[in-house]
Amino acid sequence: MKLAFRLIFFLIAIPAFADPIAELAGFSVFDKVDLNQLAQGDIKTVHGPPMSGQFLSVQSCYVMPGSTQEQVNALRSWNPTKHRELKVFLHSAPDNSSVKAFVSATEKMSSELQVSREEAKKFSGGSGGGGAVPEPVVAFWSDLLAARTKSFITEGTAGQAPYDHSGEAARPNDELKALLKNQDKIRKQFSGFLGETGIGRGAGSLKPELYWELLDVDEQGVVTLGAFYNRTAGNGFYQAADVLYYASGGYYVTLSLYQMWPVTANGKPSTLIWRGDMTSSASLASLHGVERLGSESAMVKDISRAITFFRKDMAR
**What would the 3-class secondary structure string for the chain be?**
CCCCCCCCCCEEECCCCCCHHHHHHHHCCCCCCCHHHHHCCCCEEEECCCCCCCEEEEEEEEEEECCHHHHHHHHHHCCHHHCHHHCECCCCCCCCHHHHHHHHHHHCCCCCCCCCHHHHCCCCCCCCCCCCCCHHHHHHHHHHHHHHHHHHHHHHHHHCCCECCCCCCECHHHHHHHHHHCCHHHHHHHHHHHCCCCCCCCCCCCCCEEEEEEEEECCEEEEEEEEECECCCCCCCEEEEEEEEEECCCCCEEEEEEEEEEEEECCEEEEEEEEEEEEECHHHCCCCHHHHHHHHHHHHHHHHHHHHHHHHHHHC
State residue 126's pLDDT score: 64
**Which pLDDT band holds residue 7 (cuts at 50, 70, 90)?**
very low
State residue 169's pLDDT score: 87
State residue 81's pLDDT score: 79
pLDDT at 60 over 70: yes
Instruction: Select the more confidently predicted residue: 253 or 227.
Output: 253
Q: What is the pLDDT of residues 68-115, one digit of tens each?
A: 888 877 877 787 878 878 887 664 566 788 888 898 999 989 988 999
